[in-house]
Structure formats: structure tokens, C-alpha cells
Structure 1
Amino acid sequence: MEKLTQDLIIDILSRLPTVPLLQSRCVCKSWHHIITFDAIFYTLRNNHQSLLTNADALTLISPSHFTDKSADQLYFTHFNENVRPLIQKIDVSSFIHGITKEVYLRVVGVCNGLICLATFQKPLHGLSAPMDKRRIKSFQILNPISRENLELPNFEEESLLSTSDGVTGKISKRRFYGFGFDKCNQVFKLVLFLVFDDVDDEYGNSNNVVNEMFVFTFGSGWRRSLGEVPSMIRYAFSDASNVCVNGCLYWITCTAVPDSTNYSLVIMSFNLGDETFGTIETPEMIVVESAYYLVQAHYYYTLAVFENRLCWIDMKNDKHINIWIKKSDSEESWIKKFCLQKNLLPGHYGPVRPIKLERNGELFLYHRNHVISYNVRCNMSKFFIIDEELEGISHDEGFPFAGSFISVSSQ
């Protein structure tokens, strides 16, 4: 062991499944430090192909008002080949202060074994504004394996827009956010985008829109930028956000087709390293005829992470769900990885998110309170309910998850 270099030790440890990794923390102080604190170690661990057969799932479910459960539930699902998945409920309220039935939870992002949650205050009476227009109560960084959490410092959402020249009329705003690991600077970052629209223009076509960006860099705090966010983010699919792949955040949004009232769907990226924006084309060109049908498109297309690559999920077809994988970060091309039969799933409504592919052809997915085992070789499936008491769910989010022991207090 004394002859092994630090780089080699990190590489060996990064290939271990969660349980042996937990045991390895007790070998010596240096291993404990690597497994608990080293962010580079977890970036390397997530990149190893051998982890694909050890991937788990993390699920956040919001009960509907028809159930007795009024607080959001967080679940950890561990997969064993040819064995029923082990589903464990994580009592968030036991280690995050202030989580009650009056508070909404939403996943901002999952990265390197950490999960970032946003909390929102529920309205006292009746319906309220959509989630992306509500003021955020707090941000929480959580390690569901070690049961550690860190509440981030508050920030002020005061806008300079009200004092900008030429701005008239009332202003509404939407919020988009993302969480990930900046590989260039080896730090975690939380990004919040505030998008302002002149309400006199129903579709936000005013030239007087100024957007803001708040960046929380772990170890440095909040930083604010004004007017650097592309206006196309105002059309972003909020339910298809929270996707971070290799140091970049991604959203589905759209751009106007020249000399037309139509819109073309694109994927907008944000590089956490140099904090620049970009766009990439979708696997197939998708044109939406009007802003009204753009809202409908939210139900058909979503993004996910699969095998550490960006994944595009197309649910437009009545009979099939097509899952595309981006070949690499440097290439624009995509490959169609799977074509799933919709009638083999427990329901047709809601997004489907791939979790992992076993060597025997079993594809594990998450879909509307269900864990699905879909055999892509023979087109057979079986599924399990995560929580039978939450059949009337109002919101759910499922993500691939590789457990870690990195300490949130060290960030």
C-alpha cells in the first residue's frame, strides 16, 4: 500500500460501490479524508463506467391534497439485479430545520452525491403563482447518505430593473436554477436566473427586458450579474431543468423562427467554469406553431442524465418513448439509444427518466411514483410502487444517484 501513489489510490477507491466505500473510510485517516472531502474523487467516481451497474435513484414526491400526507417525501432506491428494488424513505424533516407540511420542496440539482433543494412557502388559501414565479424561502444542500445538510445564506432579490432607463409597465419574473460541480475550478456552484417580462407583452417580446443572474460559489458566497442572461431562457421548460452534465447546466427552450410566428426548440447550456451560455440542437428538429402550443410541448420533451451524458426524452408519439443520448460534449450528434413501448409502462402521463442499464438488458427507469424494470431485449417490463399511499401525487422528480460521503460542511 505504501508504494501506491495518491492518484492511484483515488482511482481505485472511486470504482467501489457505496457499501464497500463506506467500509473503506475506516482503513486509515488519508482514505477517510479522500472519501469524505475530496470533490475530485467524486467527479472521477461518477465518470467510471463500472458504476453504471451500481447506480441508485433519488426521488422527491409531493402528495396531492387528496391524501393525508401533506409534506413532501424523499426516497432512496437501491437496485439489485433480479431482486426487488430496496426503497427507503428519507425523513427530511429530521435533519433539515423548518420542513413542515406548509413548505414545498423542489430539487435544484443532484451532483457528486449531493442534492440541492429549494424550499417555498405554501399559500395560506387556494391557488397561488406557478412554482417558477414564487419567492424562494431557502436553499439546502443535503447528503442523504450521511444525513448532513447545509442551509445557504439568504440573498436579496431586489432588482435594478425598476431604475433602468426606458422600462415601463409592470414587471413579472420567473426563476430558473441549477446546481452542479465546476470541474475547472473544482468547486460546487448554485446558479439562480431571474427572468423579467413586461406584462403588457404576453409572450415577453419587449426589448426592455433585463435579466439577472445570482451565482453562489461554495467557499466564496453569492455574486450578482445584471443583463448577462439570454432572453431565450424565459421560454425554458422548468420541469426539464436541473440537468447538469460534465460541468454544464442544460434547459430546453426555444428561439423564434425567422420571418415566422413559429418557434424552434433548442437546448440552452450554461458552463459553470467560465459562466458562458450556449445552445445545441435537439436530436430532431422540432417546430412549434405558436406560443400556445409551446406550452403543450412541456409535456412531451424532457432532459435527463444517463451514463454521464446528456439525454433527450421524446414522449410525443402515442405508442413509443424515444430516448436519445448525446455522443459527447464536443459533438453535436445524437444516437437513439432506446425505443420504449408506452403500453408497457404504468401510465402514459408524466416524464420518464432512465436511471441505469444492467448488463442483462434490464433498463431501470423512474415514472410517476413507480420504479420500472424494462427489458430492452425482449420488450417486457415490471414495475414497483414507491409509496402506495401517494397514488394521487401532485409532483414528482426522479434522478440517477451515486451515493457519496462527501461532507457538506467542508464546502
Structure 2
Amino acid sequence: MEIPAIDQPGLSDDLIMEILSWLPVIYLLQFRCVCKSWKSLISLPSFVKLHLERSLKNVNLFLTLNDLNENAVSLMCCDKRSFLEYPSSVISDHGGGVPLKDKYWVIGSCNGLICLHGSTFEDGEFEVAEYDCGEYWFRFWNPTLGLRSKKSPLLCVDLDHFDAIECGFGYDKASDTYKVVAILSNTSAKEDSERTQVKVYTLGDHCWRDIQPFPAFPYNFEKQGRFLSGTINTLALQNFSPGYNLGKVSIDQLVIVSLDLGKETYQQFLLPDVVNEAPIHNPTLVVLMDCLCLSYDYKTTHFVLWQMKEYGIEKSWTQVVNISYEHLQIQRFPFPLPGPRFYSSMPLCVSENGDVLMLIDDQQYEMILYNMRDNKVQHADILKNRFQIFAEDYVESLVLPW
């Protein structure tokens, strides 16, 4: 598309576009009022994409704060470096975040858009036994622009058949579309064909579509697929059958299933080749520094973190952290409920230089900063037992949520 002519002597249209593309969104919103031609330029799809390319180099954090005392959920964006250095001050300076009036949960962040999930259940949980059918919807929000889409078409789930749902949100560059993936699973189904169903919603469409069944059984304690390199990635169990003991899972029983959002086909990757095959607890997939990472609790004594240095290359798995809870100054107590669940520590984010890892421990909801270079541990000055915190990488953008 041809760039609108801009009456500005001495500067070419291309140069003005280049200069503006480096500016923060807050200034661009103001510059739209300078003249009609600037407003037209800033609204161009080509400019939005160029600005996004620049913004991807300035990654911030998008935080979900679950206030355990007030039973309320708030959202906030913040500078990653500031949050790693002064987490409590950052949360205070932002007034504790923007409160969510509706019962929404954050599914993911991509190119400046936040995907929010809601349901007809009052408590917003995924499984509610007294309902026969669950109705779920999704909304897309650009916090920087202050724009939010309408609710997506309802995703209706037969709760008599499916007992869990895992969702992922990402971007398909080939078709320039944003997609939500919902993986439904049934732990008691006897036939493989009845165990999973996968549905996809493309932003702007009017319905959900069925795609190929999931090739393994989702190991979905986190209930969130991880977006990376045009794919949604999920931990899954090989050779699953009803009665499977989820509390005794070794690494060789798990795989990563990667769904290509463009082709809508699957790949499977093996996890790190670990000689000791003792059961692990709470294996979790995260994306840190644009790499897929696997964390887990080993023998309830150590926190372990692996990084896949090259996406899809199984030989590139590298162990980056193996540290005792004693060194992290975390006391482990038995989990109060029966079943496969254990207390664990989950990575939130990593500093830009890769030295400092921030963890949140779900036993006391305490933040821990671990300097991997000098092996030092610092407990963050945020109130214990107050906030349950989830973090997503976030970039400011001009991308519209519809």
C-alpha cells in the first residue's frame, strides 16, 4: 500500500516512517493528532508491522496478580529490569495493577495482545462437576491501546465426557492471523480416539474448527500451552491409559507435542536424556529468553531447569540449574491434598543478561531471585502468602485486537 503523502519539507516519507517506527506507542497515539497524514501513516498495516519489529527488542513483563487475601485478580505491565530489582516497589507504584471486574484468566501474550479466557461458571474454573456443559469464551486485549475485542464464539464442552481443557494462544506469520487452541482431554476414556479433541479459533472468525486429534495425552497441570516460533507447545504423556499414576512420572515417559499454527500439524520432541529415571514432580514448560525450558521438582529436594538451546533440536537440551531447596532457603512440607500434586517452584522470568532467574514458590507464594553466575540467593521483599503471580513476556504494539 502506498504511504500517504506528508507535507513536511526536508524529510522524505520513508525517513519519517523510519523515525516514528522507533517511538513508544504512547507517543505515537499523541502524534496521530498532529495531522491527518500522520494519523493515516501510523494506522497503516505496514507501519504497524514495522513498529512491532522494533518493539520486539524491548520486552517487558505482563503480570497477573492473584491477591489471596482479597480474592481478587489484577493485571499490570512493568519493566522487567525494574521488577527483578524491586518487585515490591514496582507493584506498589502500579497501584497493585488493574483489577479485573470479570472472572478472566490470562492464556498468553503475543505481539502486544493479551488473550483472556472466561466461562459461564461463576468461579471461572475449568472443571465444575455440577454442570453438564461448559461454555468458554476468549477476548483479546491490547493494554497499551486500551482496546479489547468482543467475546469470541462460545466453545461448548461436554463435561460428562471431557474433564480437562488446556489452551494456547499464538500468531501464525504465514497467514498473519492470531489463533487460540483448546485441547480437551478425557482421563477415563478407553479408546485413543475418544481421549482428546482439539479445537481452533482464529481471531475474526465466527466459529471454532476441529483439527487432527492430539497425538499424545496432555499432561496439563498448568493448563496452558506455550507459544514459540509459530507453534503451541505442550507436555504430554506417552502410552497413557486409564489409571495411569500421574504422581510417578519419569522424564522418559513425557514428550513435548508441538502444534504448528500455520500447517496445523504436530511434531513430538523428546525431553532431556537423563540417566537417572527417578520420578519427577510438577514438570512445567516455560519460555525464557526465547527458548523452550523444562523445570521440575526432583525427589522433592532439588529444583531443576533445562533449556532447549535450539528449538526442535533434541540434542540442544542443556541443564542450566540444579539447585537444592536448602540452598534456595525453601522448606518443603507435604502437600495437604492426596493425589499427584506437589509443592513446586516455577520460573517467572530471567534477566536480560541471563544471570538472574526469578522463581515463585507455590508453597508460600514467595519470590526468589537466584543469581546463576555467582550462585547467590535472595528472597524478594514482597509479602509472603499475599500474591500468586504469573508472568508473560510483553511488548507494546499497535496491533488491533480484532
**TM-score range normalised by the length of the shorter chain:** 0.7 to 0.9
* Correspondence for 2:191: 206
* Correspondence for 2:161: 171
Q: 1:281-300 to 2 correspondence within 5 Å?
A: 281-285=270-274, 299-300=281-282
Match of 1:2 among 8, 12, 19: 12
* CA RMSD across the alignment: 4.0
- The 1-side partners of 2:13 and 2:145 are apart by 31
Q: Report the residue type matching 2:43 in the other structure.
A: H
- The 2-side partners of 1:252 and 1:286 are apart by 20
Q: Does structure 2 conserve the Cα–Cα contact (< 8 Å) formed by 1:110 and 1:179?
A: yes
Tell me whether 1:237 sits opposite 2:220 in the alignment.
yes
Q: Report the residue type matching 2:165 in the other structure.
A: R
Q: Deviations over 1:8-47 (max 9, x none)?
A: 939x946x7xxx453355454366336998357536643x
- Structure 1, unmatched stretches of 5+, are 162-169
Q: Which piece of structure 1 moves more, 173-182 or 84-93?
A: 84-93
Q: Once the 2 structures are TM-superposed, how far is the Cα of residue 328 of structure 1 from its aligned partner?
A: 2.0
Q: Once the 2 structures are TM-superposed, how far is the Cα of residue 357 of structure 1 from its aligned partner?
A: 2.3
Residues 33, 273 of structure 1: CA spacing in aligned structure 2 closer, same or farther, 3 A cutoff? same
* Correspondence for 2:110: 111
Residues 391, 36 of structure 1: CA spacing in aligned structure 2 closer, same or farther, 3 A cutoff? farther
* Correspondence for 1:166: none
Q: How many residues align?
A: 355
Q: Once the 2 structures are TM-superposed, how far is the Cα of residue 374 of structure 1 from its aligned partner?
A: 2.6
Q: Report the residue type matching 1:151 in the other structure.
A: K
- The 2-side partners of 1:331 and 1:141 are apart by 32
Residues 171, 236 of structure 1: CA spacing in aligned structure 2 closer, same or farther, 3 A cutoff? same
Q: Report the residue type matching 1:397 in the other structure.
A: F
* Correspondence for 1:120: 119
* Correspondence for 1:344: 328
- The 2-side partners of 1:31 and 1:382 are apart by 47
Q: Which piece of structure 1 moves more, 34-43 or 318-327?
A: 34-43
Q: Report the residue type matching 1:275 in the other structure.
A: E
| SS class of match (1:214) | strand
* Correspondence for 1:391: 385
Q: Which piece of structure 1 moves more, 36-45 or 170-179?
A: 36-45
Q: Report the residue type matching 1:249 in the other structure.
A: I
Scaled by the length of structure 2, what TM-score is found? 0.72
* Correspondence for 2:79: 78
* Correspondence for 1:38: 48
- The 1-side partners of 2:55 and 2:394 are apart by 12
* Correspondence for 1:224: 209
Q: Deviations over 1:36-75 (max 9, x none)?
A: 98357536643x4xx4xxx4322324344xx3x1232223
- The 2-side partners of 1:364 and 1:156 are apart by 35
Residues 177, 44 of structure 1: CA spacing in aligned structure 2 closer, same or farther, 3 A cutoff? farther
Tell me whether 1:157 sits opposite 2:167 in the alignment.
no
* Correspondence for 1:381: 377
* Correspondence for 1:329: 311
Match of 1:215 among 197, 200, 220: 200
- The 1-side partners of 2:208 and 2:240 are apart by 34
Match of 1:91 among 92, 98, 103: 98
| SS class of match (1:9) | helix
Q: Report the residue type matching 1:145 in the other structure.
A: T
Tell me whether 1:181 sits opposite 2:166 in the alignment.
no
- The 2-side partners of 1:367 and 1:179 are apart by 25
Residues 392, 185 of structure 1: CA spacing in aligned structure 2 closer, same or farther, 3 A cutoff? same
Residues 287, 74 of structure 1: CA spacing in aligned structure 2 closer, same or farther, 3 A cutoff? farther
Q: Report the residue type matching 1:401 in the other structure.
A: Y
* Correspondence for 1:191: 181
Q: Does structure 1 conserve the Cα–Cα contact (< 8 Å) formed by 2:360 and 2:389?
A: no
- The 2-side partners of 1:360 and 1:217 are apart by 34
- Structure 2, unmatched stretches of 5+, are 1-10, 32-37, 333-342
- The 2-side partners of 1:344 and 1:135 are apart by 41
Q: Once the 2 structures are TM-superposed, how far is the Cα of residue 217 of structure 1 from its aligned partner?
A: 1.2
| SS class of match (1:273) | coil
Q: Once the 2 structures are TM-superposed, how far is the Cα of residue 274 of structure 1 from its aligned partner?
A: 0.7
Residues 252, 9 of structure 1: CA spacing in aligned structure 2 closer, same or farther, 3 A cutoff? same
Q: Does structure 2 conserve the Cα–Cα contact (< 8 Å) formed by 1:174 and 1:195?
A: yes
Q: Does structure 2 conserve the Cα–Cα contact (< 8 Å) formed by 1:112 and 1:402?
A: yes
Q: Does structure 2 conserve the Cα–Cα contact (< 8 Å) formed by 1:56 and 1:355?
A: no
Q: Deviations over 1:46-105 (max 9, x none)?
A: 3x4xx4xxx4322324344xx3x1232223342346852422233243xxxx61xxx3x3
- The 2-side partners of 1:110 and 1:286 are apart by 35
Q: Deviations over 1:88-137 (max 9, x none)?
A: 233243xxxx61xxx3x32221111221121235568xx9738xx98244
4+ runs of 1 displaced by more than 6 Å? Answer: 34-37, 286-289
Scaled by the length of structure 1, what TM-score is found? 0.71
Q: Does structure 1 conserve the Cα–Cα contact (< 8 Å) formed by 2:162 and 2:186?
A: yes
Tell me whether 1:140 sits opposite 2:139 in the alignment.
yes
- The 1-side partners of 2:264 and 2:114 are apart by 21
Q: Once the 2 structures are TM-superposed, how far is the Cα of residue 406 of structure 1 from its aligned partner?
A: 2.6
- Residue identity over aligned pairs, in percent, reads 19
Match of 1:252 among 235, 245, 249: 235
Q: Does structure 2 conserve the Cα–Cα contact (< 8 Å) formed by 1:243 and 1:305?
A: yes
* Correspondence for 2:35: none
